[in-house]
Amino acid sequence: MRRAWMICGAAFLLVACSGKKPTSSGAGTTAPAAMSTPTSTSTTSAPTTIDLVGTGWRLEDLVGAGIIDNSQATLTFPEAGRVAGDGSCNRFMGPVTITGNSIKIGPLAGTRMACASEAVGNQEAKYLKALEGATRFEWKEPYLLIYSDGMEKPMRFTKAAGK
């Protein structure tokens, strides 16, 4: 009898520790933040997928105009349906909806600290406006590109260290 309980307990632990989370199909849920892109020019190769949930990104280029050195603009996807980051002087957070390669971010909320300079403040305002105007994204390794309404070029991000 004791052996049967030990086997049941071991089976329970294996299931509980499998790392799989239950899924739900309730209203108001957001699709997983993932995107596929071909790994080569061959039409027979399987696409690779980038899952944005749990990733962090550092802004490298703001719609064709580089960024101010050491301004640390970031974007993270801490959980499905949420974004957060650093605008350059202030933290922000908000909802995100991703369907295929379409992305909608915002409305964003954030802190209201003064920026170190007017230039950094202007960069942050442009960055947050571009995020809230986001329409689609692409993964072109090693870059995450996010395109925004009214912006000729995309925002270009690289993976943040440790993410």
Its pTM stands at 0.69
pLDDT score of 88 more than 80: yes
Whether residue 154 is contained in a domain is answered as yes
Whether residue 46 is contained in a domain is answered as yes
What integer pLDDT is reported at residue 2 of this predicted model?
Answer: 45
Whether residue 1 is contained in a domain is answered as no
Give the percent of the chain with pLDDT over 90.
Answer: 55
Cα-Cα-Cα-Cα dihedral of 149, 150, 156, 159, to 10°?
-30
Which one is predicted more confidently, 162 or 88? 88
Measured at the CA of 155, the angle between CA 136 and CA 93, to 5 degrees, comes to: 80
In the chain, how many domains are there?
1
The DSSP call for residue 22 is P
Whether residue 25 is contained in a domain is answered as no
Whether residue 67 is contained in a domain is answered as yes
> CATH no. for residue 111?
2.40.128.270
What integer pLDDT is reported at residue 115 of this predicted model?
Answer: 92
Q: Give the integer Cα–Cα distance in Å for 130 and 106.
A: 11
Whether residue 54 is contained in a domain is answered as yes
Residue 35 amino acid letter? M
Whether 136 and 101 have beta carbons less than 8 Å apart is answered as yes
Whether residue 123 is contained in a domain is answered as yes
- Domain of 117? 30-159
What integer pLDDT is reported at residue 49 of this predicted model?
Answer: 54
Q: What is the pLDDT of residues 5-17, one digit of tens each?
A: 344 444 433 333 3
Closest CA to 140 of 14, 20, 50, 80: 50
Measured at the CA of 72, the angle between CA 70 and CA 78, to 5 degrees, comes to: 165
What Rg value do the Cα atoms of the chain yield, rounded? 20
Whether residue 47 is contained in a domain is answered as yes
